[in-house]
Amino acid sequence: MTFHLFGHKTEKLSAEALQDLVLKLLLQMAWVDGKADAKELGGVIHTIERVYRLDPATVRSKLIAFDQQSVEDIDTLAGKLRDNLPVRERVQLLRDIWAVARTNGKTDRDEQAFFYRVAELLDIKDNEFFEKCIKVDSH
């Protein structure tokens, strides 16, 4: 995804800074239940390399260096993304977060709560997209 960096309200972040924020948010979803398994991490790697076009070597080094305890809280991460991404890119980010949550075939309560919290922080209103996401898990 090529980030649209024009016409936003606050400090403009570079594409690299935005990629880093997205990676941290995706990793937080992978770790939301206290552990990230290989499938979840694989989903994060696939998404950040393919959708957000971060090179594999950088992804792997950031993954190794990731410390869940020292990452900015989701309010800060999502707030920066909200202020720097247009709505369509924020919706895509939610789709990607949901895809990471679904790598094991089903989401749990913590993953759903994280998803809704990030959606709220990204200023994406609850809509039928959310319902479709959650409905997939109830079958």
Number of domains in the chain: 1
Residue 22: predicted pLDDT: 94
What is the structure's pLDDT at 130? 64
Specify if 9 maps to a domain. Answer: no
Q: Could you tell me the pTM of the whole model?
A: 0.82
Long-range contacts of 53-57 (CB under 8 A, 24+ apart): 53/1, 53/2, 53/19, 54/19, 54/23
Residue 47 lies in a domain: yes
* Per-residue pLDDT tens digits of the chain, which is 139 residues long: 555 544 445 578 998 999 999 999 999 999 998 888 899 999 999 999 998 898 999 999 988 888 766 767 899 999 999 999 999 899 999 999 999 999 988 888 999 999 999 999 999 887 666 666 655 554 4
- Domain housing 124: 15-137
Query: Would you say 78 and 118 are in contact if contact means Cβ atoms under 8 Å apart?
Result: yes
In a domain, 108, yes or no: yes
pLDDT at 101: 92
Question: Which H/E stretch holds residue 79?
Answer: helix 74-84
Residue 6 forms part of a structural domain: no
| CATH number of the domain to which 122 belongs | 1.10.3680.10
Specify if 24 maps to a domain.
Answer: yes
Within a domain: 33: yes
Which pLDDT belongs to residue 6? 44
Q: What whole-number distance in Å separates Cα of residue 95 and Cα of residue 98?
A: 5
1 lies in some domain: no
Of 38, 42, 27, 7, which Cα lies nearest the Cα of 77? 27
102 part of a folded domain: yes
